[in-house]
Structure 1
C-alpha cells in the first residue's frame, strides 16, 4: 500500500505491530507516529526481492521498541533513525541484505543501542564479514549467525564484546577460522560452530575461555586437530561432535568432560513409504 492509501488510524494502545508486505519499496504508515506504546515491530516481506523501507526517520516512537524482527528486507542505515533505540533488547534479521551502508556505519553504537542483548542473523547471504560496529554493543550477551554461507571472516574486534555469553556460528560454510581475539570473550559459556564444514582450525587462545561450558562441533568435517591450549578448558562440561571424527581429540579431558557423539541417521522411515 502506498502512503496515501493508509487511513489515519488511532492506535495509541498498540504494543505489537506486524506488517506483512509484498513490495520492493515500502513506506511505513504515518499512523505509527502515534503508537507511543509500541514495543515489538515485525516486518515480513513475501515478495520476490528484498524490500527497501522508507519513512523511518520520522518515527521517534521507535525509542520505546524492545524487539525488532525484519524478514527479507534491505537493512536501513541506522543513520536514518531519529533517535537512539535505547530500549531495544532483541534484533532478529532473516534473509536480509546488509549492504555496504551498514558495514561502514560509524556512529558510536554503545549510545545508539545501549540495552541490546541479543542479535540473531539467519540466511543473510550478502554478509561476508561481521560488521565491526556489532563489537561496540557493550551489553550484548547472545550473538547467533546461522546459515550465512558467504560469511568468511569475523572481525578481530569480536573480543571486545566483553559480556558475550552465547556465540552461535551454525552453517557458515565460508568460515575458515576464528580470530585469535576470541580469547577476550571471558564470559562466554556456549560456543556453537556446528556445520561450519570448512573450518580448519580453532584459535590458539581458545584455552583462555575459562567460562566455556558447552561446545558444539557437529559437522566440522575438516577440523582434524585442536590447539594445545584447548586442554586448559577446565570448566568445559560438554562437547557435541560427530561419531568417529573429533571425539578422540578430547580424550585427554574425558574424565571431566561429557563427549556426546551423534551417529549419522541413515534411516529412511521419514519418507513414509516402504523401501
Structure 2
C-alpha cells in the first residue's frame, strides 16, 4: 500500500499513500467505525482545517481528511495540468479503492466542495455535503475573466512569495467575518496558510481554479445523491448560489447558518459538526 505512518493518537492515523505517482497525505480517525465520512478542505487549507470539527464528532464515525494536491503534506507537482479536476477525481477514486472505502459521505468546503461535486458527478457516494461551494461558471466571458485573474494571482504568489500572498488573502472580503474570531484562532488560520508552498498554491489556481474547471451546472439535475448545501448568512454570494443550486438538484436541502461567513467550519466548528452529525443520523433513521 505504500503507507508511511507519521504518528497516531486519540484514534488518529496520519498516513502518506502513494497514488498514481504522487504522495497523498491523509488523517484518519476512528478506523473501523461503521459510518464513513471524508473531508475535503478549501484553497490554502489542509487536513488541519477540520481538526475542530472532527473533535466534536462521535467516535462511531470513521473520518478521513485529505490534503488535496498542492496542499499540506501531499505532493506539489510542477505541472499544473496534474491539478485538473479530471486528474484529482482519478486520484480520489484510486485512493478510495486502495483504502477499500465505499458508501461514504463526502464533505467539501469551497474548492474542496467543487471537487466533491465533481467526484459525485462520476461516482456514487452515500451523501454529499457542500459548504460554500459552486458548480463552476457557465458563461464563456466569466470563465475567461476568472481564468485570467487566477493566473495573475498565481504569478503574484510566485513573484512576491507566500507571506505577501497570505497578507493579501486574509484581507479579501470573503474572509471579513473571520476578523471577529479570537486573535489566537486567527493566528492558527494564518499558520495553516503559511504552511503552504508557492508552487503548490499557484498550480492549484492554474489547474483547478474556478475559471478552468468544468462547469457542473448541467449535471446537477442528474445527481440523485442526497445533497446538503451549507452556507453562512454573512456570505451573500454563496448563499444565493446555494439557493439557485437547490432548484437544480433532485434531492437537496439548504441550511443557512446565522452570524458566520464563508468558512462555517472555522467560524463555528461545533455547530458545523452538529449539522453534519444531524444530517447523517436523521438520514440513517429513514
Name the structure with the higher helix share: 2
Rg larger for: 1
| TM-score above 0.5 | no
Structure 2 length as normaliser, TM-score?
A: 0.30
Q: Which structure is higher in RCO with an 8 Å CA cutoff and minimum separation 6?
A: 2
